Chains A and B, each alone.
Chain A
């Protein structure tokens, strides 16, 4: 069996979820592809260790987040105001929420954005989020609090929802 077979299977099985996480982190299709590709390159290099009892998914997620946070000179290509609706001229409520949320996410710090994605998209626990970010649980709680507070300011229309989430 090819020694990279496990890596190929892993990528095939998880690629869409990883692409989506990368996209939520950077907010741009091309940058997300770049981010994921650079991380998968590292994962490929460590695969022989990961295949021996490691947790490839957790490692990849952690690498994704760390790489995203360490991109010191990342451009922010997101449109600061709105995206075109997917369904022609009529905005449904969900599309509107996405527009508002995208705009708000673009204004968070990288770590705050990563916390939001890990906690509320990946549905990780505080402990798992702390592991992925390489910080303490207290730091995750604090980052989450600050991120939600900032989202409340930036997207007041959704503030009731954020308050609900924060509870």
Chain B
């Protein structure tokens, strides 16, 4: 059996066996009969009532995905004008399970919510979560959480909001909603001036670097993914080789090639030379590699100590100091951040994030 088949089997085995208390056949029969009664017996008025009843009963009976909680839109205030302070997290709210007109998931009412560093949550209904073609729309937080970039359907382009100053800048360059495709990516610079947009991760479609002050754009090589903008350099990675290209925001520069397959790149360290990444074969060994971004040379390996039990590394992010890089782990259903001292290999717990489920949470400097 091939690795693909083995991996599919492994994934399939993650599906837990049905609980002994749940009889799938009886549930299906009950829902089917309830549905038939609704269609054949009810008057228009009662049919309307029955639909609501069936929806509610169906969800309760199946014990499956919960319908998105109403309070998300009723109790969370809108992002006010003015300053609210830097953000620690942005996440999209749940889509809704619907039974009519066809059973499925409706994301038309999903919205982005942001959490400030002091723990206040706000709705940002003007930030689009899904395109008309149902593609997920990313947002981006700058490394310090001060800048929040989102897509505005009304403006048909990206908007950068300074959360400290409360000001907004709309990109003078329009980006049609239809350009946002599967796995679209977005990163924003610390000063909010530059946005890098990749229409489709993993494709060769060129990306776009936008200077939102001047409207000037630079096309980004589609074979690379832009993962950060810092100190006037766009950090771009091509995974197959692996190549790293620190491209000046005006364009130019050239990539360096690393000997090996690396994933989960950090931003450029404060020494403007080092990046941390995970060598693909070493992900299971909790080992980080420091690489020279100028020569492509491997500098050294850092064995990570003190990894929490049942934790999976999901990203290597920003440098909090010259000796500490931030790692994000998924522990159960929650996301936790740790600072890794690259000298000692020790982890320092930095933050726990609210349980916002398996969604596209955006963290400062994440991509």
- Residues of chain A touching chain B, judged by Cβ–Cβ distance below 8 Å, are 4, 7-8, 10-12, 15-16, 19-24, 27-34, 36-38, 40-45, 67, 70-86, 88-102, 107, 109, 116-117, 120-121, 150-151, 153-154, 156-158, 161-162, 164-165
Contact = CB atoms under 8 A, between A and B. Distances in A.
Interface in B252-293: 261, 264, 280, 283-286
B365 to A, nearest CB: 15
12 contacts: A16-B15, A20-B13, A44-B25, A74-B95, A74-B105, A74-B134, A89-B311, A92-B284, A101-B8, A107-B202, A109-B182, A121-B5
B144 to A, nearest CB: 22
A33 B17 CA distance: 11
A88 B6 contact: no
Nearest to A94: B10
Q: Is the interface of A mostly helix, strand, loop or mixed?
A: helix
B102 to A, nearest CB: 7
Interface in B318-367: 330-332, 357-360
Interface in B104-128: 104-108, 110
A82 B12 contact: no
Given A34-B97, A84-B331, A44 B28 contact: yes
A19 B65 contact: no
A19 B15 contact: yes
Contacts of A161: 2-4
Contact of A99 (B2, B15, B110, B312): B312
Contacts of B13: 20
Contact of A20 (B12, B26, B110, B261): B12
A43 B35 CA distance: 13
B280 A157 contact: yes
B29 interface: yes
Given A23-B11, A37-B31, 17 more contacts: A16-B15, A20-B13, A23-B15, A27-B11, A33-B62, A41-B28, A41-B31, A44-B32, A70-B104, A73-B130, A91-B283, A92-B284, A94-B10, A109-B182, A120-B8, A158-B3, A158-B7
Nearest to B18: A15
Interface string B199-213: 001110000000000
Contact of A7 (B16, B29, B313): B29
Contacts of A158: 3-4, 7
A81 B65 contact: no
A125 to B, nearest CB: 15
B94 interface: yes
Nearest first, the 9 closest Cβ-Cβ pairs linking A and B are A91-B284, A30-B65, A40-B28, A20-B12, A11-B25, A75-B95, A23-B15, A84-B312, A161-B3
